[in-house]
Structure 1
Amino acid sequence: MSRLNEADRRPKLRRWVQETASPWLKRIGKPTWVRVVAAGGLLATGLDLAFPIRTTVPYATLVTARDGQILHAFLSRDDKWRMYAELNDITPALRDAILFKEDTYFRYHPGFNPVSLLRAAGRNLLNGRRTSGASTITMQTVRLLEPRPRTYASKLIELLRAVQLEIRLSKDEILQLYLNLIPYGGNIEGLKSASLLYFGKPPALLSLAELTTLTIIPNRPSSLRLGQNNARIVQERNRWLARFRSAGLYDDATIADALAEPLTAYRRAAPQLAPHLARRLRAEYPEVPIIRSSLHPAAQATAERLVQNYANRIRALNIHNAAVLVLDNRTHETVAYIGSADFANTLDGGQVDGVRAVRSPGSALKPLLYGLAFDGGQITPKTKLADVPTNFGGYAPSNYDQRFNGPVTAEFALANSLNIPAVALLNDIGTSTLVATMRKAGFSTVKKQARDLGLSMILGGCGVTLDEMTRLYAGFANGGVVTDGRLTPAAAGQQTAGSRILSAEAAYLIGHTLTQITRPDLPNNFDNSYHLPRIAWKTGTSYGRRDAWSIGYNQRYTIGVWVGNFSGVGVAELSGANTATPLLFQLFNALDYNAPSGWIRPPRTLAMRLICPETGDIPGDSCLNPITDYYLMGVSRHRYCQHRKPIWTNQTGTLAYCAHCRPDSGAVRRMYPNLAPNVLAFYQAQRIPVARIPPHNPACERVFGSGGPLITSPSEGSEYYINPRQPAELELSCQAPNDVETVFWYLNDKLYRKASPQEAVFFKPRPGALKISCADDRGRHTDLRILVRAE
């Protein structure tokens, strides 16, 4: 705070005299001396208001760990190492030493010592020059706050200011302020700064010899420089220790130990641990001199060492950086925070905070999608999903390994990170539902991208940060409730607010699935999987292999790992399984090696039921070997299995009958697979034998069916641009039931060609609106329309 300027000060003083002082003085009667004393008091109060003493100074910012250990120190705004010493930093031994040396009667005088002033004045007059100043600690504090030339007029001002300071602050606060300002040479000010930078420890841990050393330096900071004049400092220190013994300040044994202690002080570097978090906290709390973070110093140091060593090993693969965030699931506090492998490495962007950098998540968002599907009742863990080639309105995703698995269970699809089932689920649930859930979970970048996000977002087509992703997985560990990760410890009794994004049942099913170890994202070497921790984890690899993710949790911790290059350069060897997961396992084994072997218990409302393994639905008449599966009571769909359907055929099974043409005798009821068209097309393309429904009785005069073939190319409502001079061919393809042998393609209601359902047909389009129809040999048909434009 700066002093009031003259224009502001005079009106304020005038108003105070008119409104407060004059009426009060008029009410005071005789005797005169009472009025004089009262007037003096009022005048002093008025001057104090008009000329306040500035007691706020810019301190160096200190960021500490949860236990108070200093992790990082910043220079003050005026480039000083001026660290704030709290009252508990002033130990009784330090207090006794500094008061004995500087101001024995500090506790009793009003800011100045009259006896000392008279004695100093007499000595100065007798000697004809200034030999003694008689400054108290309060007066020295004023001089440090408001430096002035060393004159008698300055001394008088300091005296008055000292009285003013005594009125405003307690004795302990004045002593604290003094110890925060005393100089130690260069840009080091304050006893705490000197203690940390010269002895590498806080003031509370100083020995008597060390604190005595620090009490004598401020009187001669230029000639007694620690690290340069240590021998001379030891002589001066021992002289004062002898005076302490003569005064009986400490016992003889303590003094003897202090006299024998060598002086090993030298200038040390300021603490620089957790640099990314320290800068983040300093930006959030710019005026707080000591910011207490939630970091655990041992966990932070261990994580920093592991990340740096791991980054050194993978640098040969042209992968240069990594970031790690460790959260405590119980307190929601940040335990370790590593923004990059090496903060000092400017070539590889070491000062970029990878915890808050926006990156592509790859497949790491899939657990959230499956959780929403569990809660929506669409699936249970053993519901069958189709992992077959599928076109979603022009978007045809493929799996990471470019293979398809056919019908798979939902838990298999999630554990193996299959893309097509995930996109199909998102298509059913809707991108708006997923985006709304992510916004509720605190994904800030997704809020900005919401209008442009489509089905590809579940495969990494959106922006997230490691901070957001780790908090999301911590929400899975906490039963579906996502909370803001705390960077500072919570106050006693303070509750951290959270947002429920999933039910406890869905969160448990996610963790139950992600603990499976028979999955492709397990590291492919023995060293990384030998000490496998009991965790639920999921990996992700972004498009172009620019980002590798691995995020896992157990009952105690959630750890998020990102590996890649801040430059955005992709690397062929980069993957979540083989690049990020090994570091994740190392961190869990180092930070929580002796964790309890138990796991998160399932909620009581999560029940078991019998289902058909072919579909995951309630067993029907044709389901012979039912198994058990979890389900959400009152939520999961209750649908009976129809994986096989009855068909009436002739004795040889070469013709199928409908209800209108079935003969009165000789017909046989047979069961055939009831496959979706896209699954049947996949089986046929892979040449997997499937019992097909025989062709319908040609003598039947009636044809019944629910719908025509499913046109998979082109896409409904799409626009295609062609070069009229050299038009590219467009593909016509469809998926039809297994009882269809021939399909007929029509362009603008004109027959173009007949083909088998599995055959791809090509044609050269012309600019304009085009109607495409596909009919099967049962009389069923499907239409769609596209628009062809000339470039």
Structure 2
Amino acid sequence: MRRLAPFLWLVLLLGGLGGLLDRLFPLPPAPRYSPIVLAADGTVLHTFLNPTQKWRMKTELREITPALRQIILAKEDRYFYYHFGINPLAILKAAGRNAFGAGRTTGASTITMQVARLLEPKERTWPNKLLEMLRAVQLEAHYSKAEILQLYLNLVPYGGNIEGVKSAALLYFQQPPDYLSLAQTVTLAIIPNRPRGLVLGQHNAAIVRERNRWLRRLGQQGAFSRQAIADALLEPLAARRQAAPALAPHLARRLVRQFPGQAIIASTLQRGKQAKAEDLTRNYVRRLQPLGISNAAVLVINNRTRAVEAYVGSADFRDALNKGQNDGIRAVRSPGSTLKPLLYALALDKGLVTPKRLLPDVPTNFAGYQPENFDKRCHGEVPLDRALAYSLNIPAVRVLSELGVPTFTDKLRAAGFRRVARDAPRLGLSTILGGCGATLEELTNLYVTLAAGGQYAPLRFAGKNEDLRSENGVRSENRKQKQPVESIQDSQLFSEASAFLITDILAQLTRPDLPVGYETSIRLPKIAWKTGTSYGRRDAWSIGYNKEYTIGVWVGNFSGQGSPALTGSDVATPLLFDLFNTLAYNSPNNWFQPPASLDFRLVCTETGLPPGENCPNQLIDYFLPGISTAQRCQHQREVLLSADGQFAFCRACAPAAGFRRALYPELLPEVVAFRAAQGIPYRQRPPHNPACQRVRGGREQAPGITSPLANAEYVLNKGEQQQLLLSCTTDGEVRQVYWYVNDRFLRVAPATERIFFRPPPGQLKISCADDHGRNTDVRVTVTEL
């Protein structure tokens, strides 16, 4: 032990000195790679130049095939696995050659020494050569042989700004290193020795000669079989510089920002679906350009996994004129009518409606807000399923007013609608007609939630991208930074029952938003879908789904310019159908089934409510037991009439005898006004007994002024003698109304008559009183120009 002590002290001293030198002279920083975004199957979707403007794509360990390893070692360093970074025998041999001029001058560089030089390029001098050797030993101490070989293959030059085997393989052969043939592999092995003299695409003949020379040598060494060498010798070389992979440019940039410093980023995209979606979108928008429509965006979601399988942010990323680099999937736009399915699903869960429940579709003033249908027409009373299938606006606003705007916006916040969450305190009834901001990403996931039975979960854009030490052992400086993860918890937005009912309605084919020419098309996919068009025809939406996929489509202009042709049904749905027929043509032929929580019941055709005493006409409707309203239908009201039927009595003035009973429809005042204005006949209740002395008041039955709108400003042209419209809705018993302006009587008119008058400029108080003494006021401002 005493004799070994000095040796042990020497070892400890040298080890300590080596550790100190390692700290004082650390290895050069890790190479900065070109970010690569992969498809779900591992193929390269998109690549970027690294920060030094070089194509240096990281070769993974699994991509270093045995053939590539064998060729590189045979050519560059046969004793790679047996030395510690320096090959002493090779150095002595090279020194003898260089000193005596015998044979070719060599530097005896091992692969590890070449890595040291590539990591830290210096002028080729003897002092620098010694430093290179020290660095090689240092590298051997830090990394395994596999990692050093990987570094070498990632750094070798191929001329211009191309570095690394993977960069060369993708840019010249359009495939990764592990897919190359033996001839292609040898080709890439010989070029780094003469990257300027052997340029693929320019010196292919010289490259073939050099390649074949090495193939024969490898054959003589027994590295490969005779047949493999013979086949490789006959393989032609037609390689030339190709463009770098550039699919999914919008998502690629998004993921690179999400995972800064990561060389290889896995996405959920399916390469085939992405390529087809891009081609379909680009070609489709070209046909729309004469209509003043220049862009579109498409999102394809796998319903089972919530994985995004195609992501098209614009029709052409390189189209600078039409702002092609904008990401239409994340752009905040007006959603038009695309939120209506969520509204009706929530109303179904609240028991407010059922599919056959009738909703008024007549001109209605909702506390100053008077919506219109897209076609400017009203339909009287319509069942909910028709209101949704035909995307009627007035019934939707009525249901939202009953449900409550805060309830609706709270659900949108839970579904990840960020702009709605921010603007919620300022949103009103117009929200359901597109009076809010939403993205294609948010809207499409809302429809995935419908396909998932009301279960919400965030979309998945990235595969497994763990923040781990890189395979070559070099830590990225950015890896230490924790990336903020924006996650919204999974939740049940609405019930499975309401999701099925909405899907059943949206799958109907008898609807106005079926594109022209598709009525008899054999290419019509089996999907549920909803369209939307924003105010001013600036945005056209169409979002559809089946059991397997949900596809969202936006069509418009990033400039915000509208177009008369821009509607969801006319320009967005044809692209949606094309996408489904192309991308999901082999989806299983199954469809959604009603859940056990749904049941059937008979309802009155006149209202959609369970039948009352006077409901001869009935039909079957779905309902949610214990949730849907059990209120009985009372669409007809018993009225006490005089013997001759000329007057109606209230309980206060009904005589003891000499009257009879009759049934009259119980209609909302706005429905009565609509029928009268449209000349639609209905059984009208006789006027009230004029001899009745009862004073009838109460603002709950007072006339509702539908025009002018409360607190509105009207700008009139002084030279055109423009007039202001006066109209109202009243109780069914009202026959006449009395109009006042600034408390001065204007005129008497039938309750359903629309009248016009020339208003004076300034602040006006408009009053309407009915023949039962009930009164309503609104205030407006009139300005003359």
TM-score by length of 2: 0.92
Question: Higher mean Cα deviation, 744-753 or 732-741?
Answer: 744-753
Structure 2 CA distance for aligned equivalents of residues 127 and 361 of structure 1: 80
- How many percent of aligned residue pairs carry the same amino acid? 52
Pair 1:650-2:645 in alignment: no
Q: In 1, are the aligned partners of 2:708 and 2:780 still within 8 Å (CA)?
A: no
Pair 1:523-2:497 in alignment: no
Structure 1 CA distance for aligned equivalents of residues 654 and 14 of structure 2: 121
Question: Higher mean Cα deviation, 159-168 or 314-323?
Answer: 314-323
Q: In 2, are the aligned partners of 1:65 and 1:297 still within 8 Å (CA)?
A: yes
Q: How far did residue 739 of structure 1 move?
A: 2.6
Helix, strand or coil at the partner of 1:134:
coil
For 1:689, give the aligned amino acid: P
What is residue 668 of structure 2 aligned with on the other side?
676
TM-score by length of 1: 0.91
Pair 1:68-2:42 in alignment: yes
Pair 1:341-2:334 in alignment: no
Q: Deviations over 1:7-54 (max 9, x none)?
A: xxxxxxxxxxxxxxxxxxxxx997323212210111101211221112
Q: Which of 390, 395, 401 matches 2:364?
A: 390
Question: Higher mean Cα deviation, 663-672 or 696-705?
Answer: 696-705
What is residue 767 of structure 2 aligned with on the other side?
772
Instruction: Give the unaligned 5+ runs of structure 2.
Output: 467-486
What is residue 573 of structure 1 aligned with on the other side?
565
Q: In 1, are the aligned partners of 2:734 and 2:770 still within 8 Å (CA)?
A: no
Q: Which of 719, 732, 738 matches 1:738?
A: 732
Q: Deviations over 1:318-368 (max 9, x none)?
A: 222111110111110111111111222222222221111222211111112
Structure 2 CA distance for aligned equivalents of residues 31 and 697 of structure 1: 126
Structure 2 CA distance for aligned equivalents of residues 540 and 677 of structure 1: 30
Structure 2 CA distance for aligned equivalents of residues 185 and 631 of structure 1: 71
What is residue 758 of structure 1 aligned with on the other side?
752
Closer, same or farther: CA 767–196 of 1 in aligned 2, 3 Å: closer
Structure 2 CA distance for aligned equivalents of residues 213 and 375 of structure 1: 67
Closer, same or farther: CA 529–361 of 1 in aligned 2, 3 Å: farther
Instruction: Give the unaligned 5+ runs of structure 1.
Output: 1-27
Structure 1 CA distance for aligned equivalents of residues 672 and 712 of structure 2: 29
Q: Deviations over 1:654-687 (max 9, x none)?
A: 2223334444554322111111110011010111
Structure 1 CA distance for aligned equivalents of residues 666 and 598 of structure 2: 30
Q: Which of 701, 705, 722 matches 1:712?
A: 705
Helix, strand or coil at the partner of 1:31:
helix
Q: Which of 548, 555, 573 matches 2:547?
A: 555
Pair 1:597-2:597 in alignment: no
Q: How far did residue 736 of structure 1 move?
A: 1.9
Closer, same or farther: CA 360–186 of 1 in aligned 2, 3 Å: same
Q: Deviations over 1:547-580 (max 9, x none)?
A: 1110111111110111112222211122111111
Helix, strand or coil at the partner of 2:42:
coil
What is residue 476 of structure 2 aligned with on the other side?
none
Question: Higher mean Cα deviation, 194-203 or 625-634?
Answer: 625-634
Closer, same or farther: CA 202–371 of 1 in aligned 2, 3 Å: same
Pair 1:783-2:776 in alignment: yes
Structure 2 CA distance for aligned equivalents of residues 730 and 573 of structure 1: 32
- Structure with greater contact order relative to length (CA < 8 Å, sep ≥ 6): 2
For 1:753, give the aligned amino acid: R
Q: How far did residue 308 of structure 1 move?
A: 1.6
What is residue 385 of structure 2 aligned with on the other side?
411
Structure 2 CA distance for aligned equivalents of residues 603 and 339 of structure 1: 36
Structure 2 CA distance for aligned equivalents of residues 722 and 268 of structure 1: 63
Structure 1 CA distance for aligned equivalents of residues 465 and 166 of structure 2: 26
Structure 2 CA distance for aligned equivalents of residues 249 and 602 of structure 1: 65
Q: How far did residue 200 of structure 1 move?
A: 1.6
Q: How far did residue 700 of structure 1 move?
A: 4.1
Helix, strand or coil at the partner of 1:140:
helix
Trace 1:68-147 onto structure 2 (pairs within 5 A): 68-127=42-101, 131-147=105-121
Structure 2 CA distance for aligned equivalents of residues 789 and 654 of structure 1: 43
Q: How far did residue 490 of structure 1 move?
A: 5.8
Q: Deviations over 1:453-508 (max 9, x none)?
A: 2222222222221111111111111122332221113689xx99523322222222
Q: How far did residue 242 of structure 1 move?
A: 1.6
Closer, same or farther: CA 134–527 of 1 in aligned 2, 3 Å: farther
What is residue 198 of structure 1 aligned with on the other side?
172
Q: Deviations over 1:693-716 (max 9, x none)?
A: 112333444466765432214578
Q: Deviations over 1:193-251 (max 9, x none)?
A: 11111122111111111111111111111222222222222222122112212211111
Closer, same or farther: CA 490–148 of 1 in aligned 2, 3 Å: closer
Question: Higher mean Cα deviation, 169-178 or 316-325?
Answer: 316-325
Structure 2 CA distance for aligned equivalents of residues 330 and 378 of structure 1: 31
Q: How far did residue 721 of structure 1 move?
A: 7.2
Structure 2 CA distance for aligned equivalents of residues 609 and 142 of structure 1: 81
Q: In 2, are the aligned partners of 1:60 and 1:80 still within 8 Å (CA)?
A: yes
Q: Which of 251, 257, 267 matches 2:225?
A: 251
For 2:575, give the aligned amino acid: L
What is residue 627 of structure 1 aligned with on the other side?
619
Q: In 1, are the aligned partners of 2:606 and 2:617 still within 8 Å (CA)?
A: no
Q: Which of 598, 601, 607 matches 1:615?
A: 607
Q: How far did residue 750 of structure 1 move?
A: 6.0
Pair 1:432-2:432 in alignment: no
For these two proteins, the number of residue pairs brought into alignment is 761
Question: Higher mean Cα deviation, 102-111 or 238-247?
Answer: 238-247
Closer, same or farther: CA 258–766 of 1 in aligned 2, 3 Å: closer
